[in-house]
Structure 1
Amino acid sequence: MGKSGHTGDDAAFLRDGGATGALLAKFAWASTSLGPLSGWPQYLKTATAIVLRSPTPMALLWGEEGVMIYNDAYAEIAGSRHPDLLGSKVGEAWPEVIEFNEQVLRTVLAGATLKYRDQPLKLRRSGVLETLWFDLDYSPVPDEAGRPAGVLAVVVEATQRVLAERRDAANAERQRKMLEQAPGFICLLSGPDHVFEFRNDAHKRLFGERDEIARSHAEVFADLPDPGFIELLDRVYATGKRHVARARPVNLRDRPDGPLEQHLLDFVLQPVSNELGKVSGIFVEGFDVTEQARAQAAAEESGQRLSAAVAIARLGIISWDRKTREATLDERTREIFGFGPDSIVTIDDVILRIAPKDLTRIGIGTTPDWSESPRQEREFRIHLPDGVVRDIVSVSVLSPGPNGPNTRAVGLFRDVTETRAAEQRQRMLINELNHRVKNSLATVQSIAAQTLRSAHDVLSARVALEARLVALAAAHDILTAESWHGARLIDVIAAAMGPFETVQRPQISRSGPPVWLAAQPALALSLALHELATNAVKYGALSTPEGRVTIGWNLEGDMLTITWREDGGPPVRAPVRSGFGSRLLQRSLARDLHGEVVVAFAPEGVVCEIRCRPSALQAARGFMDA
């Protein structure tokens, strides 16, 4: 850029023009078509003074060549090209957009104005060609006769805003696609009339294709006789309080002229607020749980039949670990064998009460143990400490593993001393019972025995037993899919938490690296998580909408740590006695995982930490096959 010796009077109009104004005062304008500053017309000086004092990026494109004069704000937009742009022709200054600028000069010098919003331009302002966006306003600058002598350009860069808007639009589109593909039905209603803004694919499959956009819920589903639902929507909109429904009966049609069919739905009506904090709509999310409810009813009926059969037959149930010899006896078994209600009993204590002659006859031998056969039916006598002799019929079952029998066993006992005449009928009953449950009797009866032992009444025992059976069934489904070779930890957690996430899905979160579990640890962990979640629903974080449960796991070296953490629930107190859940966590789970389990009853929420080595989990396969 050239220099000249302009007098102070010549450059007076450039005062207060910032750093760029100072550069203009030193520039050799005589080398341009504008000539020296002393010869500039007043209208050019006035226009230049206005541009220099403006905080908005502005430039003058003077004459047909578009000689550039601009301010400090425009200099920032010019980047590394400043100050070389001063006094240059606009076509030479920005050759990459020469056609655009030539069109601007022709149009505006002809007396017109131009306005562009979010105009993309490919510029090299820092040596690299990049796409930038601008808001551009062009207007003519008149001379003394009112003819356009130059162009005033107001240039505001909009690149960051445009990119931000595009990111927001892309994020919104991704979220919309996620909602479209969500497994549960979802819709968004706006305003007090509950006008549809969005319905996902699951909603359309369940409620049928309808012409719903910009129409109210009452209009779209006028053919469904459920005015109570509109009242629910009105109440949520008016109060701003969410509504949660479980297994609510709803009559649906897959098309307006189709037959009515009753479904059971779990759903949440969540009020949506605007920027002023006022309710502006309702977000609806839910699941069709009709089949689940039917399955639960069938499970309840099956459980009632099983409980009735056990009670009517007055059977005793025992389960034991073939490695540790620890046994769990129900009340009837303790009564039959003469053990006190609180005494600690092993399977050896039970076997030692069998008459010595019968021990040899039934094949147990001098070293107390059961046969390796997966199922055994025996008849023997037992001698009680008070001298009483009883005749017993027993059935024992070993649970199958991937490569052989399991280490867990279950036995059923019946005292037939006074009912020998009905021996044939009793055997038929036992055979029928075992025929129905032969594939899973070992595990089911182990859970039943411990549940009945710790329950306060028949009702609570039934509810607990059914829930544990459902949890066990979910774990079995996962293992069956893997041919009982094991399961992924994330799948085990998802199956165990599924029944507790139907309505309050955001309350439970989990994260951690991939981990593979053998079959027995997977079953044990599934039951333990079910017990933790059940206690959280009854007493802990899941008993209130504000509560949260976080399940996290990580691998550090050869140590796997799984942490169950509750917060946001009611204050926690340690239990006064050890129930099924405590025994399951602190005995069975630690044993099955070859690790340790620590449960802390902190006031702010229960924390359960499970530590074991992944190598031990893999080794559990061999343990199961032993």
Structure 2
Amino acid sequence: MSEPPFGAALAGDAGLPATRAFLAGGGMLGGMIRAHRWEDTPLGPPAGWPAALKTLVAVMLGARQPMFVAWGPERTMLYNDAYAPLCGARHPAALGAPFRCVWFDILDEVGPILERAFAGEPTQMDDIAFTMHRNGYPEEAHFSFSYTPVRDPAGRVEGMFCACDEITGRVQSSRRQAFRLALEARLRDLDDPRAVMAAAAEAVGRHLGCDRAGYAEVEADGAHYRIEGEWCAPGMPGLGGRRALRDHAGSVIADFCAGRTVAVEDAGVLPAERAAAAAVYRAIGARALLTVPLVKEGRLAAALFAHARAPRRWTPEEQRLVQEVAERTSSAVGRARAEAALRASEARWRGLFRNMHEGVALCEILRDGAGRPADLRFLEVNAAWAGLTGIPAARVLGRRLTDAIPGIEPFWAETFGRAVDSGMPVHAEYRAAPLGRWFEVIAYRTEPERFAVLFLDVTERKLAEERQALLAREVDHRAKNALTVVQSVLRLTRAPDLPSYVRAVEGRVAALARAQSLLAADRWQGADLRTLLLAELGPFLGGQRLVLDGPLVPLPPLAAQPLAMAVHELATNAVKHGALSAAAGRLAVRWSLRPGTPPELALRWEERGGPPVPGPPARPGFGSRVLEGTVRSQLGGRVALAWETAGLACDLVLPLPGVAA
């Protein structure tokens, strides 16, 4: 309340005699002091009070800080308006009463301090704690004060003056803040929902000094709840497990469902309509109970509770604190469950990611100054990816594609950039030249500027497709070549009469057919090199001289047919343009076997006597490409062609695994 300055006239102050002028003002307590029958106390009428007491009372009544004076042998108390709330329900009876009668419940702590003041020793306390019953129930209170001895002119201590302040709110606020910070730190480190509930229950139980605290969650049926996290003081039984809501009184259940806090100070004095609930409380050993329900989306979801074995008043501040903890616990439990679900999902994904036979890479796109996809960075790859590419994961993680695989084509960044920009999956097949392998990829955008790629190694399929295409072209080419050979046979065959001519032509065409059938046999198990040469070259000879010179060489199955195709192409070319196109032509095929691992077959094809060779062709023909495809690609060998004026010379070098030198 607002007061006028000391000495200003108040109702009841007018007409005060000079002997009582020091009692002017003072608000409510000023009026009470003026009206009090002091003659019935050891102090006697105010007019006869010592000057020091009058001065102190005047100062006290004019002050806004809580103050009191204890005077005389009985330590009779006088105090001001600001001190009255500190007395609680003991005001106004405390006015004029002995100090020991007012503060009987804390006399053991504060009595010695008072007596030291009357002995002449001042005391300054910044924070002293008491358990007081000033309002009819025990409560913790904190004060800062100074006790100052007051002496008479002779130097004897006649009384004590106290200026004080209750700092309970400040202390509790600081304590609550420390409690919140500690609880927050503890819950933040927990990732198990039950551990979160148990930690919150323990924190509440210890902070409130109660005997049991717990966190319960209501089941989906809405009729039962389960206590998942609980803390109990020594000697207090636990309640963990499943319980029925109907054990509580109907009015209590209604409060729970409405989200209202239920505080029971003494279950032993509950009204008759809550007798069933009282019986439940007795059975669990609780006389005082505080329950804070949590209603989520219109449904009772959980509750945080605290129990005490003795009757207890739950202060509004304690109820607010438990409400805060309940909400914080609910959030932490939700977070822990979400993280647990995420961990489980991630574990499933990790298992799939780790065990997939297909390669998987998670990447982010990198752009140039114009915003175009220019590169990518590897964020994660699985073991299958490393196996498909032959690159260990440690060599690519966190690195750019162009750094991890030098020479890689821009195609990859451009293709994956389309998936990121469009948000649509992109499917492609392309040969990664630096790796020498074909990959089929499907790219998906996962988040802005990031994507996942599924890799399949399709090198064998692509090679098979290439071989199939080559075979189809070879069949077509061979058909045309066969006609050419037949034409050459017809043109070069000489006979004295028509029947002889027919027989010669038929024989050569039949030989050509037999060679073609031999080459078409997919299950050909290999052959001697000389036999293969004779079988392949026989149909092309029209009287020309053939020299075969070299050791016995058993060709392995994988080398026989490609080599036959190569020889066939050389022979076809010789029939069209070289030594086998002229009657005086000569062909020599010489070979040797070089030792090594594996040994190598060195074969030289040399034509003479045919039309003069003007030089190499302007561009490679189909026959040259077949030589490259069979000798280099299929057999891993080397080809060297020399277009000499006297005739074509060709050197072939082939590795022959499994053949003894």
Is TM more than 0.5 here?
A: no
The TM-score normalised by the length of structure 2 is 0.29
Larger Rg: 2
